[in-house]
Amino acid sequence: MVPSSDVTTRAGGRHGKPWRAAGAAVVVTLAMIGAGMIGASLQDRPAPRPPQPLAQAGPEVSGPTVTGSNASAPDDGERGDVAAGLDRAAPTTIEIPRIGVHAPVMSLGTNPDGTVQVPPLEQADRAGWYEPGASPGETGNAVIVGHVDSAKLGPAVFFDLGSLVPGDTITVQRADGQPATFRVDSVKSYPKTSFPTELVYGPNDRPGLRVVTCGGQFDEAARSYEDNVVVFATLAA
Protein backbone atom coordinates (compact mmCIF):
# COMPACT_ATOMS: atom_id res chain seq x y z
CA MET A 1 0.00 0.00 0.00
CA VAL A 2 1.32 3.45 -0.89
CA PRO A 3 1.64 5.54 2.28
CA SER A 4 -1.05 8.21 2.52
CA SER A 5 1.63 10.79 3.23
CA ASP A 6 2.82 10.38 -0.37
CA VAL A 7 -0.52 11.65 -1.70
CA THR A 8 -0.11 15.27 -2.67
CA THR A 9 -3.26 15.93 -4.68
CA ARG A 10 -6.54 14.34 -5.64
CA ALA A 11 -7.23 12.40 -8.79
CA GLY A 12 -8.50 14.48 -11.67
CA GLY A 13 -8.15 15.41 -15.31
CA ARG A 14 -10.54 15.10 -18.24
CA HIS A 15 -11.01 15.84 -21.93
CA GLY A 16 -7.41 14.89 -22.72
CA LYS A 17 -5.99 17.83 -20.76
CA PRO A 18 -2.53 17.43 -19.21
CA TRP A 19 -2.32 15.55 -15.90
CA ARG A 20 -2.33 18.21 -13.20
CA ALA A 21 0.42 16.90 -10.93
CA ALA A 22 2.63 13.87 -10.44
CA GLY A 23 1.01 13.39 -7.06
CA ALA A 24 -2.27 12.52 -8.76
CA ALA A 25 -0.59 9.43 -10.15
CA VAL A 26 0.12 8.33 -6.59
CA VAL A 27 -3.54 8.82 -5.68
CA VAL A 28 -4.76 6.63 -8.51
CA THR A 29 -2.15 3.98 -7.76
CA LEU A 30 -3.24 3.98 -4.15
CA ALA A 31 -6.81 3.32 -5.22
CA MET A 32 -5.72 0.46 -7.45
CA ILE A 33 -3.67 -1.22 -4.74
CA GLY A 34 -6.37 -1.02 -2.06
CA ALA A 35 -7.51 -4.38 -0.74
CA GLY A 36 -11.10 -3.75 -1.77
CA MET A 37 -10.27 -2.50 -5.25
CA ILE A 38 -12.09 -4.42 -7.97
CA GLY A 39 -11.11 -7.79 -6.63
CA ALA A 40 -12.33 -10.34 -4.13
CA SER A 41 -13.87 -9.15 -0.91
CA LEU A 42 -12.23 -9.74 2.44
CA GLN A 43 -14.09 -13.03 2.77
CA ASP A 44 -13.41 -16.36 1.09
CA ARG A 45 -12.31 -16.23 -2.52
CA PRO A 46 -14.62 -17.88 -5.08
CA ALA A 47 -13.12 -21.02 -6.62
CA PRO A 48 -12.99 -20.05 -10.34
CA ARG A 49 -9.89 -18.19 -11.45
CA PRO A 50 -10.45 -15.40 -13.99
CA PRO A 51 -8.78 -15.75 -17.40
CA GLN A 52 -5.61 -13.75 -17.85
CA PRO A 53 -4.60 -11.69 -20.91
CA LEU A 54 -2.08 -13.08 -23.37
CA ALA A 55 0.19 -10.15 -22.49
CA GLN A 56 0.63 -11.24 -18.89
CA ALA A 57 2.72 -9.40 -16.34
CA GLY A 58 3.06 -6.20 -18.34
CA PRO A 59 6.31 -4.24 -18.09
CA GLU A 60 7.14 -2.70 -14.75
CA VAL A 61 6.11 0.91 -15.33
CA SER A 62 5.09 3.69 -12.98
CA GLY A 63 2.89 6.69 -13.65
CA PRO A 64 5.54 9.40 -13.51
CA THR A 65 7.88 7.61 -15.96
CA VAL A 66 5.33 6.72 -18.62
CA THR A 67 4.81 9.21 -21.43
CA GLY A 68 2.48 9.10 -24.39
CA SER A 69 -1.01 7.81 -23.61
CA ASN A 70 -1.11 6.00 -26.95
CA ALA A 71 1.85 3.76 -26.15
CA SER A 72 -0.35 0.68 -26.00
CA ALA A 73 -2.29 1.44 -29.18
CA PRO A 74 -1.34 1.50 -32.89
CA ASP A 75 -0.35 4.82 -34.45
CA ASP A 76 -3.05 6.77 -36.26
CA GLY A 77 -1.27 5.94 -39.49
CA GLU A 78 -2.02 2.25 -38.90
CA ARG A 79 -5.66 2.86 -38.04
CA GLY A 80 -7.89 4.61 -40.54
CA ASP A 81 -11.03 3.87 -38.56
CA VAL A 82 -10.48 6.19 -35.59
CA ALA A 83 -13.59 8.33 -35.10
CA ALA A 84 -13.82 11.97 -34.13
CA GLY A 85 -14.72 12.70 -30.54
CA LEU A 86 -18.33 12.99 -29.39
CA ASP A 87 -19.88 15.54 -27.07
CA ARG A 88 -19.85 14.77 -23.36
CA ALA A 89 -22.57 12.39 -22.18
CA ALA A 90 -22.74 10.01 -19.23
CA PRO A 91 -22.55 6.27 -19.99
CA THR A 92 -25.55 4.12 -19.11
CA THR A 93 -24.51 0.57 -20.04
CA ILE A 94 -21.43 -1.28 -21.27
CA GLU A 95 -21.66 -4.18 -23.73
CA ILE A 96 -18.82 -6.56 -24.54
CA PRO A 97 -20.26 -9.24 -26.87
CA ARG A 98 -17.26 -11.58 -26.82
CA ILE A 99 -17.54 -12.20 -23.08
CA GLY A 100 -21.29 -11.71 -22.69
CA VAL A 101 -21.17 -8.47 -20.71
CA HIS A 102 -24.24 -6.24 -20.72
CA ALA A 103 -24.12 -4.22 -17.54
CA PRO A 104 -25.36 -0.90 -16.18
CA VAL A 105 -22.76 1.75 -15.49
CA MET A 106 -22.78 3.95 -12.39
CA SER A 107 -20.91 7.23 -12.05
CA LEU A 108 -17.96 7.30 -9.65
CA GLY A 109 -15.80 10.06 -8.25
CA THR A 110 -13.20 10.21 -5.54
CA ASN A 111 -13.34 9.39 -1.85
CA PRO A 112 -12.69 12.06 0.81
CA ASP A 113 -9.03 10.98 0.91
CA GLY A 114 -8.69 11.48 -2.86
CA THR A 115 -8.70 7.83 -3.88
CA VAL A 116 -10.85 6.71 -6.78
CA GLN A 117 -14.20 5.19 -5.87
CA VAL A 118 -15.22 1.70 -7.04
CA PRO A 119 -18.64 0.04 -7.26
CA PRO A 120 -19.86 -1.45 -3.95
CA LEU A 121 -19.12 -5.17 -3.65
CA GLU A 122 -22.85 -5.86 -3.28
CA GLN A 123 -23.23 -4.40 -6.78
CA ALA A 124 -20.35 -6.33 -8.32
CA ASP A 125 -22.49 -7.01 -11.40
CA ARG A 126 -22.29 -3.30 -12.32
CA ALA A 127 -19.45 -1.26 -13.79
CA GLY A 128 -18.36 2.21 -12.75
CA TRP A 129 -17.32 5.23 -14.81
CA TYR A 130 -14.72 7.65 -13.45
CA GLU A 131 -16.84 10.79 -13.90
CA PRO A 132 -14.09 13.43 -13.42
CA GLY A 133 -12.42 12.08 -16.55
CA ALA A 134 -13.61 12.02 -20.14
CA SER A 135 -16.93 10.41 -20.95
CA PRO A 136 -16.87 7.42 -23.33
CA GLY A 137 -16.61 8.85 -26.84
CA GLU A 138 -15.10 12.19 -25.84
CA THR A 139 -11.54 13.03 -26.79
CA GLY A 140 -9.42 11.74 -23.93
CA ASN A 141 -9.33 8.53 -21.94
CA ALA A 142 -12.65 7.41 -20.48
CA VAL A 143 -12.10 4.97 -17.61
CA ILE A 144 -14.54 2.22 -16.61
CA VAL A 145 -13.74 -0.06 -13.68
CA GLY A 146 -15.44 -3.15 -12.31
CA HIS A 147 -14.97 -6.08 -9.97
CA VAL A 148 -13.60 -9.40 -11.16
CA ASP A 149 -15.36 -11.41 -8.44
CA SER A 150 -16.74 -11.22 -4.93
CA ALA A 151 -17.31 -13.70 -2.15
CA LYS A 152 -21.04 -12.95 -2.18
CA LEU A 153 -21.76 -13.05 -5.93
CA GLY A 154 -18.87 -15.14 -7.30
CA PRO A 155 -17.73 -14.10 -10.81
CA ALA A 156 -18.48 -10.40 -11.27
CA VAL A 157 -19.03 -8.07 -14.23
CA PHE A 158 -15.45 -8.20 -15.57
CA PHE A 159 -14.52 -11.76 -14.61
CA ASP A 160 -13.67 -12.65 -18.24
CA LEU A 161 -12.10 -9.31 -19.19
CA GLY A 162 -8.64 -10.85 -19.50
CA SER A 163 -9.77 -13.07 -22.37
CA LEU A 164 -10.38 -10.15 -24.73
CA VAL A 165 -8.04 -9.78 -27.71
CA PRO A 166 -7.23 -6.96 -30.14
CA GLY A 167 -10.08 -6.37 -32.56
CA ASP A 168 -12.84 -7.18 -30.07
CA THR A 169 -15.48 -4.49 -29.65
CA ILE A 170 -16.88 -2.70 -26.62
CA THR A 171 -20.02 -0.59 -26.96
CA VAL A 172 -20.97 1.98 -24.35
CA GLN A 173 -24.53 3.27 -24.48
CA ARG A 174 -24.76 6.93 -23.52
CA ALA A 175 -27.42 9.15 -21.97
CA ASP A 176 -27.68 11.19 -25.18
CA GLY A 177 -28.75 8.09 -27.12
CA GLN A 178 -25.55 8.05 -29.20
CA PRO A 179 -23.62 4.81 -28.57
CA ALA A 180 -19.84 4.76 -28.60
CA THR A 181 -18.24 1.62 -30.02
CA PHE A 182 -14.57 0.99 -29.29
CA ARG A 183 -12.15 -1.47 -30.84
CA VAL A 184 -9.70 -3.17 -28.49
CA ASP A 185 -6.06 -2.29 -29.19
CA SER A 186 -4.41 -4.36 -26.47
CA VAL A 187 -5.06 -6.16 -23.19
CA LYS A 188 -2.32 -6.21 -20.58
CA SER A 189 -1.70 -7.20 -16.98
CA TYR A 190 0.32 -4.99 -14.63
CA PRO A 191 1.46 -5.52 -11.04
CA LYS A 192 -0.57 -3.23 -8.82
CA THR A 193 2.70 -1.77 -7.57
CA SER A 194 3.45 -0.67 -11.17
CA PHE A 195 0.05 0.51 -12.33
CA PRO A 196 0.38 2.51 -15.62
CA THR A 197 -1.38 5.61 -14.32
CA GLU A 198 -0.57 7.89 -17.25
CA LEU A 199 -1.69 5.34 -19.84
CA VAL A 200 -5.02 4.92 -18.06
CA TYR A 201 -5.89 8.29 -16.56
CA GLY A 202 -3.54 10.56 -18.49
CA PRO A 203 -4.30 12.69 -21.56
CA ASN A 204 -5.09 11.38 -25.03
CA ASP A 205 -5.53 13.30 -28.29
CA ARG A 206 -8.21 10.88 -29.50
CA PRO A 207 -11.23 9.16 -27.92
CA GLY A 208 -9.94 6.25 -25.86
CA LEU A 209 -11.41 3.79 -23.39
CA ARG A 210 -9.66 2.01 -20.53
CA VAL A 211 -11.48 -0.85 -18.81
CA VAL A 212 -9.85 -2.00 -15.58
CA THR A 213 -10.31 -4.94 -13.22
CA CYS A 214 -8.17 -7.17 -11.02
CA GLY A 215 -6.17 -10.19 -12.17
CA GLY A 216 -3.08 -12.28 -11.67
CA GLN A 217 -2.49 -14.45 -8.64
CA PHE A 218 -4.73 -14.14 -5.61
CA ASP A 219 -2.82 -13.28 -2.45
CA GLU A 220 -4.52 -15.29 0.28
CA ALA A 221 -2.84 -13.32 3.05
CA ALA A 222 -3.77 -9.90 1.66
CA ARG A 223 -7.17 -11.13 0.37
CA SER A 224 -6.51 -9.35 -2.91
CA TYR A 225 -5.35 -9.99 -6.45
CA GLU A 226 -1.78 -8.97 -7.22
CA ASP A 227 -2.32 -7.44 -10.67
CA ASN A 228 -4.64 -5.20 -12.63
CA VAL A 229 -5.93 -6.17 -16.07
CA VAL A 230 -6.28 -3.17 -18.37
CA VAL A 231 -8.05 -3.12 -21.73
CA PHE A 232 -6.91 -0.31 -24.06
CA ALA A 233 -9.42 0.59 -26.77
CA THR A 234 -10.03 3.38 -29.29
CA LEU A 235 -13.32 4.77 -30.61
CA ALA A 236 -14.11 3.21 -33.99
CA ALA A 237 -15.53 5.19 -36.88
SS3 labels along 35-96: CCCCCCCCCCCCCCCCCCCCECCCCCCCHHHCCCCCCCCCCHHHCCCECCCCCCCCEEEEEE
- Average pLDDT over the chain, rounded to an integer: 77
Of the two residues 29 and 166, the one the predictor is more confident about is 166
Provide the CATH number for the domain formed by 4-235 in this structure.
Answer: 2.40.260.10
Q: How far apart are CA 154 and CA 144, in angstroms?
A: 20
pLDDT for residue 128 is more than 80: yes
User: What was the pLDDT predicted at 21?
Assistant: 32
User: What was the pLDDT predicted at 159?
Assistant: 95
Q: How far apart are CA 155 and CA 158, in angstroms?
A: 8
Q: How far apart are CA 204 and CA 125, in angstroms?
A: 29
Q: What percent of the chain has pLDDT over 90?
A: 56
User: What was the pLDDT predicted at 65?
Assistant: 29
Of the two residues 91 and 237, the one the predictor is more confident about is 91
Tell me the range of 10-14, 29-33, 87-91 where mean pLDDT is highest.
87-91
Domain extents in the chain: 4-235
pLDDT for residue 35 is more than 60: no
pLDDT average, residue stretch 100-115: 94
Confidence of residue 90 (pLDDT cuts 50, 70, 90): very high
pLDDT average, residue stretch 207-236: 93
User: What was the pLDDT predicted at 76?
Assistant: 39
pLDDT for residue 7 is more than 80: no
Q: How far apart are CA 175 and CA 90, in angstroms?
A: 5
Sign of CA dihedral 140, 59, 63, 115: positive
Of the two residues 127 and 82, the one the predictor is more confident about is 127
Confidence of residue 109 (pLDDT cuts 50, 70, 90): very high
Confidence of residue 8 (pLDDT cuts 50, 70, 90): very low
Q: Are 116 and 11 in contact (CB under 8 A)?
A: yes
SS3 6: helix
User: What was the pLDDT predicted at 179?
Assistant: 97
Which tens digits make up the pLDDT trace of 169-205?
999 999 999 999 999 999 999 999 999 999 999 999 9
Of the two residues 80 and 92, the one the predictor is more confident about is 92
